[in-house]
Amino acid sequence: QKEVEQDPGPLSVPEGAIVSLNCTYSNSAFQYFMWYRQYSRKGPELLMYTYSSGNKEDGRFTAQVDKSSKYISLFIRDSQPSDSATYLCAVNDYKLSFGAGTTVTVRA
Amino acid sequence: KAGVTQTPRYLIKTRGQQVTLSCSPISGHRSVSWYQQTPGQGLQFLFEYFSETQRNKGNFPGRFSGRQFSNSRSEMNVSTLELGDSALYLCASSLDASGGTYEQYFGPGTRLTVT
């Protein structure tokens, strides 16, 4: 069983829509959860970092962790074409374990 | 503050050769981790170095090795290259002030093609 499961999409939305991305993880001991954004032919960029359960907001981005259901979410409000990228969720103990990544396209 | 840098950015090697990739972490960061990214397997952890010591290792064969220098710069080496080693190799650094490796910042990667 993979440590992190993520639907690879792809996901296509019109500009201004809310993008909703989700992952599940297998080990209830995980405490640190990340979302990375990766543009084509670039390295992953850390977007959000959450410890334990709860919500964290940063501008148009909101990360949620529900440890009871082992569910991680990322919401992007008022999506822009520049948000078109692959979004990777990750859990961290001594290393990062990544989901497969969801490719998002925001249509102008 | 400068980000993580990796050299070279692109590399083409022949099967059976060996290759060395270099990573310079963010200034002040002491932990360096390496990852392999392929379309089929995604991002996979190779190993992590802290204070010139390999602290953690992923499930890769012994052909993959690394080291860290006293200035925290790191190198990884792949010997006897195979076609399946073609991938984007990513280096990530973290501050690791508390003993964990939580917020990891990635470099642009080295794209290795094995022919």
What pLDDT does A47 receive? 95
What is d(CA A80, CA A68) in angstroms, rounded to the nearest whole number? 32
**pLDDT band at residue A73 under the 50/70/90 scheme:** very high
Other Cβ atoms within 10 Å of B54 Cβ, number? 13
Would you state the structure tokens that stand for residue B83, as one six-digit string?
Answer: 């076609």
Q: Are strands A102-107 and A11-14 parallel, antiparallel or unpaired?
A: parallel
pLDDT digits (tens, 9 = 90+) for A12-70: 999 999 999 999 999 988 889 999 999 998 999 999 989 888 899 999 999 999 999 99
* Residue of B56, B100, B107 with shortest CB distance to A43: B107
List the single best residue of B36, B37, B43 to mutate versus A (max A Cβ within 10 A).
Answer: B43
Residues B3-9, mean pLDDT to the nearest whole number: 97
High-pLDDT (> 70) share of chain B, %: 95
Q: What is the pLDDT of residues B81-98, one digit of tens each?
A: 999 999 999 999 998 765
Residue A34's φ and ψ, nearest 5 degrees, are: -130, 155
A78 vs A13, A59, B101, CA distance in Å?
11, 10, 32
Considering only CB atoms, which chain A residues are within 8 Å of B109?
42-43
State the nearest Cα–Cα gap between B59 and chain A, in angstroms. 12
Question: How close is the nearest chain A Cα to the Cα of B81, in Å?
Answer: 22
* Chain B residue with minimum CA distance to A91: B102
Dihedral angle sign, alpha carbons of residues B99, B105, B108, B111 = positive
Residues B21/B107, Cβ–Cβ less than 8 Å = no
Instruction: Tell me the DSSP string of B38-104.
Output: ETTTEEEEEEEEETTEEEEE-S--TTEEEEE-TTS-EEEEE-S--GGG-EEEEEEEE--SSS---S-
Q: Do A95 and B101 touch (CB under 8 A)?
A: yes
Question: What pLDDT sits at residue B102?
Answer: 74
Give the per-residue pLDDT at A92. 87
User: What pLDDT sits at residue B97?
Assistant: 60
Give me the pLDDT at residue B12, please.
98
Quick check: B45 contacting A, CB < 8 Å?
A: yes
A98 pLDDT tier (thresholds 50, 70, 90): very high
Give the Cα-Cα-Cα angle A96, A98, A101 (nearest 5 degrees): 150
Say how many residues make up chain A. Answer: 108
Closest by Cα among A46, A103, A45 to B39: A103
Indicate the residue of B56, B108, B111 with minimum beta-carbon distance to A95: B56
Average pLDDT (A87-91) is 96
Instruction: Label residues A64-100 b or e (16+ Cβ within 10 Å = b).
Output: bbeeeebebbbbbeebeeebbbbbbbbbbbebbbbbb
| Contact at CB, A96 and B35, closer than 8 angstroms | yes
Give the C-alpha separation, A103 to B34, whole Å: 23
Q: What is the residue-averaged pLDDT of chain B? A: 94
Within an 8 Å CB–CB cutoff, is residue B78 touching chain A? no
Tens digit of each residue's pLDDT (9 = 90 or more) over B24-40: 999 999 999 999 999 98
Q: Is B41 on the interface with A (CB under 8 A)?
A: no
pLDDT above 70 for B111:
yes
CA distance A90 to B113: 26
Task: In whole angstroms, give the CA distance from residue B85 to residue B82.
Answer: 5
